[in-house]
Amino acid sequence: MTSPYETLAARIDARFGEQMQRVASSCRELTYELDKDDLIAVATALRNESHFGFEMLVDVCGVDYLDYGSDEWTTNSATGTGFSRGVERASVILDEADEFDARRFAVVYHLLSIQNNLRLRLRVYTGTSNPPIVRSVVDIWNGANWFEREAFDLYGILFEGHPDLRRILTDYGFIGHPFRKDFPLMGNVEVSYDADEGRVVYKPVSIEPRTLVPRVIRDDNRYSADLKDGNGDG
Cβ(157)–Cβ(149) below 8 Å: no
> Which residues share a beta bridge with 37?
none
- Cβ distance to other proteins smaller for residue 201 or 216: 216
Angular region, 233: left φ>0, alpha ψ -120 to 50, beta rest: alpha
Per CB under 8 A, contacts with other proteins among 157-176 are 167-171
Cβ(57)–Cβ(109) below 8 Å: yes
Cβ(107)–Cβ(151) below 8 Å: yes
- Cβ distance to other proteins smaller for residue 38 or 71: 71
Instruction: Kindly state the smallest distance separating residue 185's Cβ from other proteins, in Å.
Output: 5
State the Cα–Cα distance between residues 102 and 104, nearest whole angstrom: 6
Choose which of 40, 45, 56, 189 interacts with other proteins (CB under 8 A).
Answer: 56
Contact call for residue 208 and other proteins (CB under 8 A): no
Contact call for residue 69 and other proteins (CB under 8 A): yes
Contact call for residue 40 and other proteins (CB under 8 A): no
Instruction: Kindly state the smallest distance separating residue 86's Cβ from other proteins, in Å.
Output: 12
Choose which of 86, 131, 143, 176 interacts with other proteins (CB under 8 A).
Answer: 143
User: Terminal CA-to-CA distance of the chain, rounded, Å?
Assistant: 9
State the Cα–Cα distance between residues 56 and 115, nearest whole angstrom: 10
Contact call for residue 92 and other proteins (CB under 8 A): no
Contact call for residue 119 and other proteins (CB under 8 A): yes
For other proteins (CB under 8 A), the number of binding residues is 55
Residue 60 vs residues 168, 187, 229: alpha-carbon distances, Å: 14, 24, 22
Residues near other proteins, by CB under 8 A: 25-27, 29, 31, 55-59, 61, 63-64, 67-69, 71, 83, 108, 110, 114, 117, 119, 121, 141-147, 150, 167-171, 178-179, 185, 211-213, 215-220, 222-223, 227-230
